[in-house]
Amino acid sequence: MLGLMQDWPLTVDRILDHAASRHGGREIVSRSVEGPVVRTTYAELHARAKQVSHGLRELGIARGDRVATLAWNGGRHMEAWYGVMGIGAVCHTLNPRLHPDQLCWIIQNAGDRVILADIGFAPMLLAALASHPTPVERVILLSDEVHRPPEAGRRVLMYEDWIAGRPTSDAAGAPAWGRFGEETACGLCYTSGTTGDPKGVLYSHRSNFLHTLLVLQADVMGLSAADVILPIVPMFHANAWGVAFAAPAVGAKLVMPGQRLDGASVHELLETEGVTFSAAVPTVWQGLLQHLDATGEKLSTLRRVVIGGSACSEVLLRRFWEDYGVEVRHAWGMTETSPVGTMSTPGAETAALPFDQQLPWRVKQGRPPLGIELKLADEDGARLAEDGATAGRLMVRGPTVARGYFARDGEVLDAEGFFDTGDIATLDAHGVVQVTDRAKDVIKSGGEWISSIEIENIVTGHPAVAVAAVVGVAHPKWDERPLLLVQLKPGQVAEPVAMQDYLSGKIAKWWMPDDVVFLDEIPLGATGKVDKKGLRAKFAERYAAAELSQAG
């Protein structure tokens, strides 16, 4: 027997329809690539997204076709998103931080027919497309004719002129949004490719809609119509962690930062727009705190931030709360999980404790919301104990988790339907996750594991340290030994022994890095995480002298 409920497909066009209908006057503020701050509303965004849909139809874009975007967070990017998804085409968000060769490989693999791009990316994009074979038929630059770059030929369309005069509704036989199944492909996002070629994760309308409801849970992001949201995490990084769907779903004011993500620029938007909630990777927040330290300025409206992408240190949590009264929620997830998998919102018992006693729990990655199931497995796939101490491979399943990769054959799920995240973690009886390392980053020394994340979190508590990274380097006797790489705060000086002294007593003696290297800047990858792959390659011979001493 089936239920007698209405058939109402969970498609993301309904999210913006709702925002325009019930929160139409709520603001969307964008720092534009041309310079000025631009203000619009959900009603205006909805109308212009419909114009995008009409324009794409005219270019021959149909359901299932891939349309790429190459843009920072802004109102026009949002219009393009919903204009593509609303007609059943697939919105493929390209990461501009990738090398042009890798970008073109992804475009080719995805089969992108049209690309909508910020004008700042025009020189790189047009040069790359001219030198690589791709299926791209048309490039549309997200600006107007006045700002047409000199390298843009006449076949390149300027967005404002392209949508001008087009219908803003579905009247008079115009193409309607929706009217397709909720399992229809909706978005395409590629992994960063740190361990091989990038892999495409193909989201459905249903998965994105359910992820929106997941994000809105009080124990996840807990967003509401009263919030003013600054999504610093880019829209090309796993759907801006779902914020680009969640904010219009509740009618929250959106503040889009564009390309200026330095501490001063972020602080300006936080204060001038009255931001209450924001989300970003740790390096962005470290830059903000350094700006506040240098200027003595405060955070007057910000109440809650989500930190993800890489592990959040205790010092970052403590500083936000003790210095500025801002709650940090530590998140874990990945492109393949849409991306939210867990959130470190405390339960009743933990929340009742003093803040200092909450910290050991808050630095963990947290617990899964409704819709996410987790387990631990060993190398043979056997389940491991959920005792908070046993470490194993973290596995996940749920309606917002990938079951395969775009344009790739091969099974990625185990016999129970779980996806291997590639993370090494512990899991306790309450489902609280603590990631101890990425499987590819874990350091195996003398047959035992060393957690690079734990060492990094401790070192970033040193007052002179801005960023720290620990990588495993080949060693003739111990297989691998940890190497500590440190980027100091501006104006700070330190000796290697000072870092080792700071670690002494806080970690096992055999975990102690054999060497410390100070770098002017620790390189970041395409998603804002430390580029450990590059660092391992650069310092692969660091302990070669140990081999000579062994031979002697």
The one-letter amino acid code at 16 reads L
Sheet holding 112-117, edge to edge: 157-158, 138-141, 112-117, 66-70, 90-93, 185-190, 200-204
Q: Looking at the structure, tell me whether residues 504 and 480 fall in a common domain.
A: yes
Asked if 78 and 187 sit in the same domain, the reply is yes
**Residue 376 contacts residue 395 (beta carbons within 8 Å):** yes
**DSSP SS3 for 90:** strand
Q: Which of 496, 236, 486 is nearest to 244 (CA)?
A: 236
Question: Do 455 and 426 meet the contact criterion of CB atoms below 8 Å apart?
Answer: no
Q: Are 400 and 538 members of one domain?
A: no
- The C-alpha atoms of residue 517 and residue 536 are separated, in whole angstroms, by 13
347 within a domain of the structure (yes/no): no
Q: What is the pLDDT of residue 546?
A: 53
Chain centre to alpha carbon of residue 416: 27
> Is the previous residue joined to 339 through a cis bond, with omega within 30 degrees of 0?
yes
Share of the chain residues as helix, strand and coil, in percent rounded to the nearest 5? 30, 25, 45
Out of 413, 438, 463, a domain closes at 438
Same domain, 22 and 157: yes
428 in the same domain as 463: no
CATH code at 198?
3.40.50.12780
How many domains does one find in the chain?
Answer: 3
**How many Å apart are CA 457 and CA 316, to the nearest integer?**
9
Same domain, 461 and 380: no
Alpha helices in 23-158 (DSSP H): 42-58, 75-85, 100-110, 122-131
pLDDT at 552: 32
Same domain, yes or no: 20 and 43: yes
| Domain boundary, last residue among 399, 416, 438 | 438
Nearest CA to 240 among 340, 326, 330, 329? 340
Which residue range forms the structural domain that includes residue 393? 368-438
| pTM confidence score | 0.86
Q: Which of 186, 206, 226 is the last residue of a domain?
A: 206
Q: In terms of domains, do 23 and 127 share one?
A: yes
Q: Output the six-digit token pair for 514.
A: 């054999």
CA distance 317 to 363: 8
Which CATH number covers residue 485?
A: 3.30.300.30
- Report how many helices (DSSP H) and strands (DSSP E) the chain contains, helices first: 17, 24
What one-character-per-residue DSSP string does 6-35 give?
------THHHHHHHHHHSTT-EEEEE-TTS
Instruction: Establish if 202 belongs to a structural domain.
Output: yes
**Two tokens, residue 166:** 């087009």
Pair (18, 157) in one structural domain? yes
Q: What letter does residue 525 receive in the DSSP assignment?
A: -
pLDDT recorded at residue 174: 63
382 and 497 assigned to the same domain: no
Q: Divide the 552 residues of the chain into consecutive groups of 10 and give the mean pLDDT of each group.
A: 97 98 98 94 98 96 98 98 98 92 95 98 96 96 96 93 93 77 97 73 98 98 98 93 98 97 97 98 91 97 93 90 97 96 94 94 95 96 96 97 95 96 93 86 75 87 92 84 94 92 88 93 82 87 60 34
524 with 516: CB under 8 angstroms? Answer: no
**For residue 89, what are the CA distances in angstroms to 144, 185, 204?**
24, 8, 11
Which DSSP letter does residue 470 get?
E
Q: How many CB atoms lie within 10 A of CB 455?
A: 23
Pairing type for strands 448-450 and 443-445 reads: antiparallel
DSSP-derived letter for residue 239 is G
Domain membership of residue 272 (yes or no) is: no
Q: Per the domain annotation, does 242 fall within a domain?
A: no
Q: How far apart are CA 435 and CA 167, in angstroms?
A: 50
> Cα(518)–Cα(313) distance, rounded to whole angstroms?
20
State the pLDDT at residue 176. Answer: 78
Q: Is residue 376 a part of any domain in this protein?
A: yes
Q: In angstroms, rounded to a whole number, what is the distance separating the alpha carbons of residues 66 and 89?
A: 6
- Residue 518 included in any domain: yes
Beta bridge partners of 115: 68, 139
**Residues of 35-67 as b/e, b for ≥16 C-beta within 10 angstroms?**
eeebebbbbbbbbbbbbbbbbbeeeebeeebbb
Residue 398: inside a domain:
yes
Residue 232: the pLDDT is 97
Residue that has been written with the tokens 């925002």 in this structure: 19
Is the domain of 182 the same as that of 55?
yes
Active site residues: 191, 336, 444, 449
What's 419's domain CATH number? 2.30.38.10
State which amino acid sits at residue 48.
R
Of 367, 369, 361, the C-alpha closest to 386 is: 367
Is residue 159 within 8 Å of residue 144, measured between CB atoms?
A: yes
Is 285 within a domain? no
CB 188 within 8 Å of CB 110: yes
Q: Give the Cβ contact number of residue 346 at 10 Å.
A: 18
40 & 179 share domain: yes
